[in-house]
Amino acid sequence: MTDHSPDPAMLAKAETLTEALPYLQRYAGKTFVVKYGGHAMGDPELQRDFAEDVVLLKAVGINPVVVHGGGPQIGSMLKRLGVESRFVDGLRVTDAATAEVAEMVLAGKINKEIVSWIAAAGGRAVGISGKDAGLVRAEKVQRIEPDRNSGIERHVDLGFVGEPVAVDPTLLNSLARDGFIPVVAPVALGADGHTYNVNADTMAGAIAGALGAARFFLLTDVPGVMDKQGELLTDLQPGDIAALKEDGTIKGGMIPKVETCVAAVGAGVDAAVILDGRIPHGLLLEIFTRQGAGTLVRA
């Protein structure tokens, strides 16, 4: 007699696929913006997993837009060139030489690497920066901070650090419509003709807002926003952020990340999620299974 009892391993695979069904139905035709942080780019296996996830999203009818960072990679190039670098609230102070190196590393090296990984996974990616087709217009960031000793407010000059003031998503929509996956480097032009180095989280958030993305994911090197005891904060609302910044729970690179989530949600993005880019296929698991991970920011 032949044994017709189902193989449990095969059944588990089928269950995983059927578990994905409602998400596939819900998200078909929607736009997802994925911010791929420099720290999440880890090793070649993670890079391949990430590219496969993005290609799979496209294959099931979702329009992924990748916006990448590369802070650590800019840091090592600056070090090799003997250029000092410092940060204020997670933003790299950018003089003319630093802006040049940042654009070379971001729009040259990293952007084309990601395009190659996506190509290897069978996708058709187009690498651009915020400069292309007027995608993002930036303005110089203006910072005013109280002096540590006197408390008197003073202007902090960050150099060529830009913040997005206008996004024209025409090119992204054309690329998505024609089956391409846009990969965007966080460099933009100012009205003054200067090249601005834009924090990648801020850039991604502005693009997610302009596209009215259904989801905005930020892949980084921590499980999400952690409290002072190191516990993951699974849900945050815009109103929670000021206190977390004030008491020092959120600092450094997490500041632009959380601020951009709040701005994106305010601009009409349904939900933003900060999640661990070091987990193999973390993006797929987050999107197509019930086990949500990371920190969800929702209005």
Ligand X SMILES: Nc1ncnc2c1ncn2[C@@H]1O[C@H](COP(=O)(O)OP(=O)(O)O)[C@@H](O)[C@H]1O
Residues engaged in binding ligand X (CB under 6 A): 37-40, 69, 71, 90, 201, 220-222, 225-226, 249-254, 257
**Is 190 one of the annotated binding-site residues?**
no
Q: Cα torsion at 102, 200, 51, 73 (round to 10°)?
A: 30
Residue 139 CB, shortest distance to ligand X2W, in Å, is: 13
Task: Kindly state whether residue 169 participates in binding ligand X2W, applying the rule CB under 6 A.
Answer: no
Report CA-CA distances (Å) from 240 to 53, 93, 150, 252, 268.
Answer: 31, 28, 29, 17, 19
CB atoms within 10 A of CB 15: 10
Among ligand X, ligand X2W, none, what binds residue 161 when CB lies within 5 to 8 Å by partner kind?
ligand X2W
Rounded Cα–Cα distance for residues 264 and 256 (Å)? 12
Q: Using DSSP, state whether 140 is helix, strand or coil.
A: strand
The contacts of residue 156 (CB under 8 Å, 6+ apart) are 88, 143, 144, 145
**Is 29 one of the annotated binding-site residues?**
no
Among ligand X, ligand X2W, none, what binds residue 91 when CB lies within 5 to 8 Å by partner kind?
ligand X2W
Task: Kindly state whether residue 131 participates in binding ligand X2W, applying the rule CB under 6 A.
Answer: no
The nearer residue to ligand X2W, 69 or 209, going by C-beta atoms, is 69
Residue 250 CB, shortest distance to ligand X, in Å, is: 5
The nearer residue to ligand X2W, 85 or 173, going by C-beta atoms, is 85
The nearer residue to ligand X, 182 or 224, going by C-beta atoms, is 224
Place of tokens 């736009």: 31
The nearer residue to ligand X2W, 64 or 253, going by C-beta atoms, is 253
The contacts of residue 107 (CB under 8 Å, 6+ apart) are 127, 129, 131, 185, 187
Residue 66 CB, shortest distance to ligand X2W, in Å, is: 12
> What type of residue is 2?
T
Task: Kindly state whether residue 126 participates in binding ligand X2W, applying the rule CB under 6 A.
Answer: no
Report CA-CA distances (Å) from 8 to 11, 53, 190, 285, 298.
Answer: 5, 26, 58, 21, 38
Among ligand X2W, ligand X, none, what binds residue 58 when CB lies within 5 to 8 Å by partner kind?
none
Residue 282 CB, shortest distance to ligand X2W, in Å, is: 16
Q: Cα torsion at 189, 190, 194, 199 (round to 10°)?
A: -70
**Is 137 one of the annotated binding-site residues?**
no
| Positions at the binding site for substrate | 70-71, 92, 197
Q: Name the residues that contact ligand X2W, by CB under 6 A.
A: 37-39, 69-71, 74, 91-92, 94, 102, 161, 186, 197, 199-200, 253
